[in-house]
Amino acid sequence: DAKTTQPTSMDCAEGRAANLPCNHSTISGNEYVYWYRQIHSQGPQYIIHGLKNNETNEMASLIITEDRKSSTLILPHATLRDTAVYYCIVRVGQGGKLIFGQGTELSVKP
């Protein structure tokens, strides 16, 4: 599975959009981009995933560049409860394993 690179930490003001970048320059054509987050002492929570088109759900939007080498997770109106470690993972859609990197620690501040 392709490796991903994320910033170690980011801050965001409450109510503003949080934009979390992820680089995955070695992604293969059949690999999806997944985003999970982990709030302290809990199991990871699925956020969103995509292959090449931008995706949006009730939690977030996922923007994937045309060359698929990077993506951005957007939390449109961050709240204090969005403070967590966010993991960007690439894997084959069916059958692949989710291998976690170090993620981005997002701190949403009042």
Q: How far is CA 39 from CA 7, 52, 71, in A?
A: 17, 27, 22
Total residues contacting another protein by CB under 8 A comes to 21
* Residue 23, C-beta contacts closer than 8 angstroms, at least 6 positions apart: 4, 5, 6, 69, 70
State yes or no: residue 41 binds another protein (CB under 8 A). yes
Contacting residue, 32, 52, 69, 74, with another protein by CB under 8 A: 32
Under the binding rule (CB under 8 A), the answer on residue 86 touching another protein is no
Q: Which stretch binds another protein (CB under 8 A): 19-27, 39-47, 67-75, 76-84?
A: 39-47
Q: Is 103 in the site for another protein (CB under 8 A)?
A: yes
CB-count burial class (<10 Å; 0-12, 13-18, 19+) for 96: middle
Q: Which stretch binds another protein (CB under 8 A): 6-14, 15-23, 37-45, 62-70?
A: 37-45
Token pair 């949403």 in the structure block, residue: 108
